[in-house]
Every structure is written in structure tokens, then in C-alpha cells.
Chains A and B, each alone.
Chain A
Amino acid sequence: MSIIFLPWRNVRANPGRSAALGVFIAISGMLLVLAHAFLGTITGNMERSLIDSLTGDLQARAGSSQEADMFSLRREWDKLPPLTAAQASMAEQAFAQAAPGATLARRVRSTVLLANGGLQDFGMLIGLDPAGREYQQAMTILQGRGLDPSRPGEILISQSQAENLQVKVGDQITVMVPGAGAGTGGPITATVAGIGEISLLSMFDTFYNYTDLGAAQQLLGYGDGQVTDVIAFLPPGQDAAALAPVVQGRASSDVRMTTREGMGGFILGGIALYGAMFYGFVAVLALIVGLLIMNLITMVGVERRREIGTLRALGYSRRTIVGLFLGEIAVTGTLFGALGVLAGIAVARVLAGTTLHPSPPLDFIMGKAFVLQVEPADALLPFGLIVLFTCLAAVWPAYRAASLRPVELMAES
């Protein structure tokens, strides 16, 4: 027999005691998997919405443009220098060569003022191909419809803009560039096709408007082919950060490649808060699990005074006995943690087969239709955490149990 088998022998010989601890570990593991899957799906959906509506995975813009987050530049989009038609084509070629499966979109962006008679509101206009699938996926249309490629000069506005401007679907509004000087095309008139929000990002106080590319070019006085950026939506599995320098290498220095982290850092930071919520949940769960485990190990230490005292008398060091205790806890934690995590994956899989329709205020972060995304790999982090917490929680009571002076045992015998 090897000493490393002793913990296993103890676990096997005391199934009741192991199960008392193990059931709690398993439940914790299951809850962790579900929380991880829910928050992973929520943050993933938010990131997807950000990419589809605003940033794309990669963006090519003029080399002289200010390198900053799109959100922090929200009142300065009108100052973005455009890409020439040749530069935009070069960027598209570079994307096509480096990322053949990517979907490309030319866009014109500008900070705008929307006006209805004497009423005005601020907006951030994005002109693009109205048929583009990605921005449509990211929009939740509350009234009216999306942009119709056959009807140029339409605009999508947010609900707050509609209220401030007192307009409804079908009304016409004036769109202008604030402080427009020479070189701009001047105000345009656009018809409100729909009123809606970018899904899941409304808490970030966005005022985005979509129109067709031609209308936006006309507003800014851009010549044919001039755009503010070309964005690429990469196929699943492609790493934008790794691809950016490759695309940059194929384009000229007049074109700057930026990843979504560079463009949407502010909003991504907000989304990361949801990740922090997960870790907050983990911390609370760890505290509860930890206290329970500490209590149980303390009880086990009391229950096994004779055994510990005997081992100490035979010459086992405190460290060895702590190791034996931790070994038992690790075996229990691994076995029951794995069971709990597998149960969590099974429950998540069942939930993933159903489309949930969360009620307010949950729909604020989950959207109107929520489908849980779960992969077996999602179980690894919760599994690692639950085993780690279990072992950490056992260290102090195990040390206390091992600190029994063998002479105390002799006095009890």
C-alpha cells in the first residue's frame, strides 16, 4: 500500500460521511455551472450585439483618425477623416485575402443632430447597406420596420429620440451635422422607417441611428466610394486580434486596423461587469461552501481524534496528517464536484433546448428571447473552482485536527 491511497481508503470506508460533504459540493458545482452558462450566454450575447451593431470584429479606418474607443468618440464622429474610395477598396482586398470568409460592410458614421421643427436631439448616425444582416440582428424594432434597401433616405431612431422629437413611424425628420462647415453636404431629410433599440445595449445610453450609405454620404458631402470605415465580421473561431496585424500588413499605412477591443472597450468594460457578477456569486458560494466544509472537517477531526493521535504517536508529522486530510477532501471534492458539474451540464443542456422569454426587468440583460448556450468546456472552470475552494476550506481545520498532541489521546485512552 502507498500512503497516497490512504485518503481514498478512508473515503471509501466512510461513504455516509463523504456523502454528507459531497452532496453539498455537488450542488455547489451544479449551481456554478448553471451560473457560468447563464452569465457566459448573457455576456456573449451582449458582445455579439456590440459587434453586429457597432464595431464589427475588425475595422479599417483612415490612418490619420484618432485611435480611440467608438463610444468615447460619440460626439466626435463628424471629425473622423474618411477613407478614399481607393483606400476602402484596398482595405476590402486586404480583408478578403487575410480572412476569406469574412463579411464586409462599408459605413459612413457621423455625429448628427436630428430635428423636427424646433425640436432637436443628438444622434450617432451609421450609414450602411440596408440589407446588411448583422445590424438587423442587433436591432430590436419596437415600432415600424427595418430599413428597406429599395427605399433610400429612411432612418431608424431610438425610442427616446422619437419621444424627444415627437415623431412616429412615417414622419420625416431633418438630419444635420452639428457645426457643419464647408465641404459638408448639408442637411438631409429622412423618413422614420422604424423605432427601436440595439438589443441588450440600451443600458449604455446609446443613441445610434441607421440609414443607407448613400444618404449618409450625401449628408457629409462624401464623393463616390468615400466612407469612414470598412468593418469585417469574421467567421466563428477566427481570432480578430491575431488577424489584425495580418490585414494591416496587406493594407497601406494610410489605413488603420482596429479590433473590437480597441473600438468597443468602454462597452466591453461594462459587459465585463457581468463577469464580475459571476465571480461575486462564486465568492459568496465559496464562502458558504467554505464555512460548511470547515465545519465538517472540524467535526471529522473530532471524530477521528484517536486515529490522528495514533498516527502522531507513530511518528506522522502534522504536515503528513494535514496532507492525508486534504487528500480525502480532494478525493471527495473531485468525485462529487464532477458529479455536480455533470448534473449542471445536463440541466443546462435541457434549458438550452428551450427559448426563454424573460419578463422585465430580466429582458433588459437577457433580451426578449433567450437561448442558453452551453459547451462541455464551460464545466472546466466551475469544476476547478469547486475543487480548489473545497481544498482551501479544509486547510485550517485539517491543520487544527493534526495539531492534536498525542499525549492528549493517551490521557483519553
Chain B
Amino acid sequence: MALIELEAVTKEYQLGRTTVRALRGVNLQVERGEFTTVAGASGSGKSTLLNLIGCLDTPSAGRILINGKSSGAMRERQLDQFRLRTIGFIFQSFNLIPVLSVAENVELPLLITKEVSAAERKKRVAHFVDAVGLGTMGGRKPDELSGGQRQRVAVARALVTKPEIVLADEPTANLDSKTGMEIIDLMHEICRRESTTFLFSTHDPKLMQRADRIVHLQDGVVAGEERR
């Protein structure tokens, strides 16, 4: 059984009187531990696809199964818990909390996880801050960091709950190409080391080449796939 399964997923938006079909019957399977990119031009449906997989939105038609569970059957509280435990997010604009330090930002998802003790929390935060190469910067505030460093913090925050899936929507869009490449390499390395499934979107051909699998989206449909 694939970790992520999309069955004929369609997503429509209402923009005034116009109905926008962002996804049109998408079928997709992602296996555990894959490092996959969703590639396509702006407006091709990449973000919509990631939002649906991340349980941030619901499909207009079709089914999304994660670990065999349909996200459509979950209530809001269950979805919150599901996101907390199963999915890590890396945002294009980093979305760090400015008043918190690097370590505190990384710790943020763990604060509402009852199963993790304070000692374990501290240990995990230190581990992941170290893993993204910011071991000496745990006490710094986001505005004291470069863009690349901020995105590293976001990567650590996405991983700290040890999720099965990490979703990253254009994680390098606000970074220069060298730093962007470093972030993708870091994600890839962690994917291998932690056996975490990564799914990220990009329209940068150079970054696509770093993925094990490329899913091409065009006008809301899967236009092709490449495995590397």
C-alpha cells in the first residue's frame, strides 16, 4: 500500500462567477521514503495538490488516502491531530514566529504534543537544529538569520515531530539558487537518513533534477512522470 494515494482528485474554486478547476481527476501514488517533486508552471495546480495532501483543504471530488486513511472522513480536530503527527510543512516564506528563537520555533509543534516529555522535547530540538547545521544558533531570533538559515529552521521544525510526510511548497522560491540547492540537498539527505517521505513543488528545472521522482503537472492534470 502506498503511503499517499490520490484517486481521481478534482478541486474546483469559485472566483466570483467563474469556476476554476485547479485539479482535474488527478491519480497519484507516493511510496514511503520517496523524495518526490511536483513540477509545473505557475497555475498548474502544484500548491493545490500539496494543500490537499496536507489536509489543509478538501477535494471537490475524489479521494485522498494517507496510510490507507481517507482525509475526507476526518473531522476538524482529527485533521489537526493528523497534521500534527503525520505531516510536516515547509513554507515558501519560512513562516517562523519572529518572537521565538530558532530552538523555540523548532519546538513549536511539540508544545502541543502530550506524548513527548520535556526532556525528550529538548533532546529532539537539539538533534534537529544540529541536523540542519544550525547547532550554534539555537538562541538566535529569525531576524538574525539569513534566508537560507531561516529555511533550515523551517526544515527542522517540519521534522521535529518525526512525521511520515514532509510537504514543501516552493521551499526555495525566496532563496538564491545556491542556497536553494543547499536546502534541497539537505532535505534529500534527511529523507534518506530519517526515511521520511518528502514531496516538494518547484518550477526550477535544476532543483527538479535533485528529486528521485518528478511528477509533472499541467493545467491540473498529471502530464507525466520521471523516475531517477
Contacts and interface: CB of A to CB of B under 8 A. Distances in A.
A407 interface: yes
B202 to A, nearest CB: 15
Nearest to B103: A1
B107 A1 contact: yes
Contacts of B228: none
Interface string B64-107: 00000000000011001111110001011101011110001001
Interface residues of A, number: 28
A2 B97 contact: no
B84 A413 contact: no
Interface in A365-413: 405-407, 410-411, 413
Interface in A149-170: none
A9 interface: yes
A407 B57 contact: yes
A1 B83 CA distance: 22
Contacts of A189: none
B83 A315 contact: yes
A1 B47 CA distance: 33
A409 to B, nearest CB: 8
Contacts of B56: 313, 405-407, 410
A315 B108 CA distance: 10
B164 interface: no
B99 A314 contact: no
Contact of A315 (B85, B93, B97, B169): B85
A315 B47 contact: no
Contacts of A9: 99-100
Contacts of A191: none
Interface in B133-189: 157, 169
Contact of B108 (A306, A314, A411): A314
Contacts of A405: 56-57
B81 A315 contact: yes
B112 A316 contact: yes
A354 to B, nearest CB: 46
A311 B95 CA distance: 9
A378 to B, nearest CB: 37
Name B's interface SS. helix
Nearest to A304: B97
A1 B95 contact: no
Contacts of B157: 314
A20 interface: no
Given A1-B111, A313-B56, A410 B51 contact: yes
A13 interface: yes
Contacts, number: 70
Interface size class of B (residues with CB under 8 A): 20 to 34
Interface string A288-320: 000000000000000000110111111111101
A6 B107 CA distance: 12
Contacts of B83: 313-315
B109 A315 contact: yes
Contacts of A14: 99
Given A406-B56, A410-B56, A413-B92, A2 B47 contact: no
Interface string B34-56: 00000000000001000100101
Interface string A2-34: 110010011011100000000000000000000
Contact of B169 (A1, A6, A318, A410): A410
A6 B98 CA distance: 12
Contacts of A6: 111
Nearest to B85: A315
Given A9-B99, A410-B51, A320 B112 contact: yes
Contacts of B77: 317
Contacts of A411: 47
A310 B111 contact: no
Contact of B98 (A12, A13, A312, A316): A13
A310 B57 contact: no
Nearest to A310: B95
Contacts of B51: 407, 410
A9 B107 CA distance: 15
A316 to B, nearest CB: 6
A306 B99 CA distance: 13
Nearest to B89: A313
B100 A315 contact: no
A410 B80 contact: no
Nearest to B88: A314
A310 B97 contact: yes
A411 B43 CA distance: 12
B98 to A, nearest CB: 7
28 contacts: A1-B104, A1-B107, A1-B111, A12-B99, A13-B98, A307-B97, A310-B95, A311-B108, A313-B56, A313-B83, A314-B89, A314-B157, A315-B81, A315-B82, A315-B83, A315-B85, A317-B76, A317-B80, A320-B112, A405-B56, A405-B57, A406-B56, A410-B47, A410-B51, A410-B91, A413-B91, A413-B95, A413-B169
Interface of B: 47, 51, 54, 56-57, 76-77, 80-85, 89, 91-93, 95, 97-100, 104, 107-109, 111-112, 157, 169
Interface of A: 1-3, 6, 9-10, 12-14, 306-307, 309-318, 320, 405-407, 410-411, 413
Given A313-B83, A315-B81, 5 more contacts: A12-B99, A312-B80, A314-B157, A315-B84, A410-B91
For the complex of A and B, 6 pairs with smallest distance between CB atoms: A315-B84, A13-B99, A310-B95, A407-B57, A315-B83, A3-B111
